[in-house]
Amino acid sequence: MDTATTQDHHLNRLGPDSDLAHIRADFTRFMMEYKFGMDEIETKIMILQEEFTHLHDYNPIEHVLTRLKTPESILEKVRRRGLDPSFEAIRDNITDIAGVRVACSFVRDVYSVYDMLASQPDIEVLQVKDYIENPKPNGYRSLHALVRVPVHLSDRIVPVTVELQFRTVAMDFWASTEHKIFYKYREAVPEDLLQQLRDAAQTAADLDERMGRLHLRTHGDFVGSRREGGPADEVVRQLHELRESRVNNRFV
């Protein structure tokens, strides 16, 4: 079954003579696909977070945020970039409609969590940009990835592109502050503030490195580290006895 082509033939009716009811229904369906793709990725990350909370001594995921562009924002981007106003063109050219941001404790956690997610067989990695290893000139640091995930609908499977951002808590704090400053000054930020932002980005990077070394020295590698807990001791003992009795009976 063709996953998206059939739908796109119907979604391409965004010309001036299109029926508004059809456009509204198609746009709603289009947005839902991206929401479901975003939900799929968020669920995968939450499963990892839950696993590390209950089975390991250390959870590398601090928090997860999701963001879905509004139809108004998408249309504005179509106009600004001079794109063909079809859903097929939007799908091919606008890759940040659905976004998931994962904040981790340490830099090494960023790469570990990304690897766990990227290695899952139903996720296709389309692009990776490492702004931690190669920060932007303004000091921005984060690991970006575009991935494609299948969304199973009632009558078809639709591959949906989701933008992922992995960063430390320090990187996230810096990026949030930088965004607020740019919003306040409507992007015309004074040079002295820009320099202070660059200096703060370097301070945050130094802090990440220093705290990462401290954590590694005191806790070691979290991967494979198991947490004590789970079922009560009596339940575990009874299960062990049942298994032993089965083995013994087998050879009677």
Per-residue pLDDT of the chain (252 residues), as tens digits, is: 454 444 444 445 445 555 788 889 999 999 999 999 999 999 999 999 999 988 887 899 999 999 999 999 999 999 999 999 999 999 999 999 999 999 999 999 999 999 999 999 999 999 999 999 999 999 999 999 999 999 999 999 999 999 999 999 999 999 999 999 988 998 799 999 999 999 999 999 999 999 999 988 887 765 545 555 566 777 778 888 888 887 776 543
Rg (CA), the chain: 24
47 Rama sector, left if φ>0, alpha if ψ -120 to 50, beta otherwise: alpha
For 26, the token pair is 């198609």
Pick the catalytic residue from 33, 40, 163, 178. 163
User: What are the backbone angles phi and psi of residue 146, rounded to the nearest 5°?
Assistant: -100, 125
pTM of the model: 0.80
Question: Using H for helix, E for strand and C for coil, what is the string for 45-111?
Answer: HHHHHHHHHHHECCCCEEEEEEEECCHHHHHHHHHHHCCCCCHHHHHHHCCCCEEEEEEECCHHHHH
Residue 209: active-site member = no
In sequence order, what are the residues at sequence separation of 6 or more whose Cβ sits closer than 8 angstroms to the Cβ of residue 213?
Answer: none
Domains, the chain, in order of start with CATH, read 5-232 (3.30.460.10)
